Amino acid sequence: MKFDIEARCGAARAGRLITPHGEVETPVFMPVGTQATVKGVGQEALEELGAQILLANTYHLLLRPGHETVRRMGGLHRFMSWERALLTDSGGYQVFSLAERRKVTEEGVEFRSHLDGSLHFLSPEKAMEVQQALGADVIMALDECTEYPADRERARESLELTLRWGARCLESSGLPAARGGQALFGIVQGGMHAELRRESAERTVEMGFDGYAIGGLSVGEPRALTREMVAATLPHLPADRPRYLMGVGTPEEIVEYAAQGVDMMDCVLPTRAGRHGLLYTSEGRINIKQARFAEDAGPPDPNCGCRVCARYTRAYLRHLYVAGEALGGVLNTLHNLAYYLDTMRAVRHAIQLGNLEEFLSGFRARSLSSPIAVPGEDPA
């Protein structure tokens, strides 16, 4: 993997991540394809939308169909018919979310499958084995996602365990050449304690990963606290390596984080919100379920050029949702992904032109007029 920064505007960077399966222009939003699929959206549609990299989930693919099955099928790219870049997470967050089904020790995490209750063990070495079998371009070190709230002592314990696990991931995965071109990212933890975040970042950087992720956020904390932890971490990550903020966020948030110098982000929000009938548009959020759209002949977003806005009306999308037709969720999702990807491309363009602050001012003004989102919006 190679990462080149092509332009700067304040703290923001426009770069290019070069992977074995193509180039990724940053800052980038990565659609989430949990089980080797972005829910309801075919790979050809994602290509049409201009998605350059997708995220897949190690935990779910370990359980079904199994990483060895994927290996025998030629790796995840061939298995899911996606020739562009892929990132796989380590499975740490999903294991964290199991709560009553897991037991964390120094060696790793013992957990029971949410599918059939079968017992599994995920160690740093196993996380590397699984991700190397899947064959993603970017793989993640196994971390312990600190719960919220967590006092300083608990956050310290989690930080130290994540560092020890990170070292084991580096050792077991081998040198970059031995990983077949896979880039390995370390993950910063530290709970909601700024001084621990700084320490975690500095010590993780010393270990020499190919890139660095900020983890353990969007776990129930107030969004203002999320922003504070990101701001405390970013200055301590190297300028010449990609910076990945995991699991965020709304369109307003991804724009602001890109302006702070984050290069990569992912979130289930555009797909989950779409299934709930929530659309993101240049005129603010709209809840397509509302009766006021029953005879609205306008497109979902008059300023959007996606295939949904070019063909369908708000009235039709409302009808699909009310009728319980699966197509409604698919079309909503397609538009939301187009909005997220277009927004990030606009941010990148503004960085290259050197007028990011002007772009942000206009984007913030539009966001202030946006109505409150419906329940189910938040990915946590």
Catalytic residues: 89, 266
Contact 238, 300 (CB under 8 A): no
DSSP 37-58: SBTTB-HHHHHHHT--EEEE-H
Q: Nearest-CA neighbor of 169 among 249, 250, 89?
A: 89
Would you state the torsion angle of the CA atoms of residues 49, 89, 277, 377, taken in this order, to the nearest 10 degrees? Answer: -130
Contact 129, 174 (CB under 8 A): no
Helix (H, G, I), strand (E, B) or coil at 87: strand
DSSP state of 137: S
Contact 136, 128 (CB under 8 A): no
At 101, list the tokens.
């089904």
Query: Rounded to whole angstroms, how far apart are CA atoms 294 and 379?
Result: 28
Contact 36, 76 (CB under 8 A): yes
